[in-house]
Amino acid sequence: MSQNRTGGGIATEPVSLSRGSAIELDPCRGGTLLGASRTYVDPAQTELLNEIKPRIAKLGIDGLICIGGDGTINGMQPLSEMFPCVLAPKTIDNDLGLNYIDEPSEWTVEHHSAERPGPAQSHARDTIALDEIINIATPGYATAVFVVVQGVERIRTTAESHRRIAIIEVMGRDSGYIPLGSAFGQPDIVLIPEHPVDMDHLEHRVAELYDMQKHVVIVVGEGVRDQSGRQLGAQTKSYDPAGNVVYSGAAEELKRLLAMRFGDEFFGTRRKHESADSVIFTRKVGHTQRGGRPIKFDRFFGTQLGGKAVDLILDNRNNHVATLQWSGERGFYLDSLPANKLRDQWKRI
């Protein structure tokens, strides 16, 4: 077992497991026994890859089970060319799947976003059957949605009693599954990264709702964009160790835009002369989405998918991903698919 290591540090600090030192697994506890890393293997670093291979061989490791999301699976790709690797998915973003098996071939380039071209759906399919979906939910997602829904419901009471507009920012990066899942908490408006925000339409809808019920609750995904492709939460460009843009202000930017459009005059007769800046407030659900005790769904299927990953290694299914499927006849069941099936035309997963 290797702790806190991927990339250049892989297999440099192994932890020996024996009957006397084995760590007790507690399915009700969140977090990770192995720790986490935000550095990944770059396929272009051939010298580093050549160093990793003998380290693995020296430890007598026959295969590698990676646990994580899209960053982990991308880092796994060059390693899978040297020795067997599989992925046990674990990500709150729920972005390791497809609506149907050949979906990536239908994506097109987003011409308005030069920094990150594609993918944009070509709308070749108008309807999608549930039993077509590849990897219907990743461990962690259901728990994150459960926490977000509680947050939305609690913030609603404050917005309602004080007649305010609440903007709640949730995680997910470029995936809109968490904000979409927040709909179980009944917010008034949900904004997701996959659909650019039309500020004219949003302004009209917020005004309409405020006049009708004297408060509004908006949920916004941290990676949401406007119609020009500008990321609202990435106004100050910063990056994590894996090279991903750090999103840190979508809700605040949305508040600024709405306050500028409404002005103090809109709330003057509705809020006893309070300013737009004081009426609109923001909150982040934050890291509570990804910590603490997982709900039963994640505990059970997280364990099942881990076992499936072990089976994939034993069956020599290199570079495969354990998946959770659903059908009307079978309910939830386990399957797998090659990681390359998740790639788009730009070789991204």
Structure tokens at 148: 């977000």
The CATH number of the domain holding residue 245 is: 3.40.50.460
Q: pLDDT > 90: what percent of the chain? A: 50
pTM: 0.86
- Give residue-wise pLDDT tens across range 192-225: 999 999 999 999 999 999 999 999 999 999 999 9
- Clarify whether residues 63 and 164 are in a common domain: no
The CATH number of the domain holding residue 60 is: 3.40.50.450
- What is the rounded distance in angstroms from the CA atom of residue 94 to the CA atom of residue 74? 15
Please determine, for residue 49, whether its predicted confidence score (pLDDT) is greater than 90: no
Mean pLDDT of the chain: 84
Looking at residues 163-180, what average pLDDT do you find?
94
Please determine, for residue 336, whether its predicted confidence score (pLDDT) is greater than 70: yes
Among 251, 269, 290, give the residue marking a domain's end.
290
pLDDT of residue 23: 65
Q: pLDDT > 70: what percent of the chain? A: 81
Please determine, for residue 68, whether its predicted confidence score (pLDDT) is greater than 50: yes
- What is the rounded distance in angstroms from the CA atom of residue 292 to the CA atom of residue 300? 16
pLDDT of residue 231: 86
Please determine, for residue 64, whether its predicted confidence score (pLDDT) is greater than 80: yes
Main-chain phi, psi angles of 326, to 5 degrees:
-145, 140
pLDDT of residue 114: 43
Among 272, 290, 308, give the residue marking a domain's end.
290
- Give residue-wise pLDDT tens across range 223-249: 999 998 888 877 666 555 555 666 668
Please determine, for residue 34, whether its predicted confidence score (pLDDT) is greater than 90: no
- Clarify whether residues 226 and 337 are in a common domain: no
- Clarify whether residues 145 and 188 are in a common domain: yes
- Clarify whether residues 133 and 145 are in a common domain: no
Residue 29 domain boundaries: 7-137+295-342
pLDDT of residue 20: 65
pLDDT of residue 272: 67
Domain-located, residue 349: no
- Give residue-wise pLDDT tens across range 268-300: 777 666 888 999 999 999 888 888 889 999 999
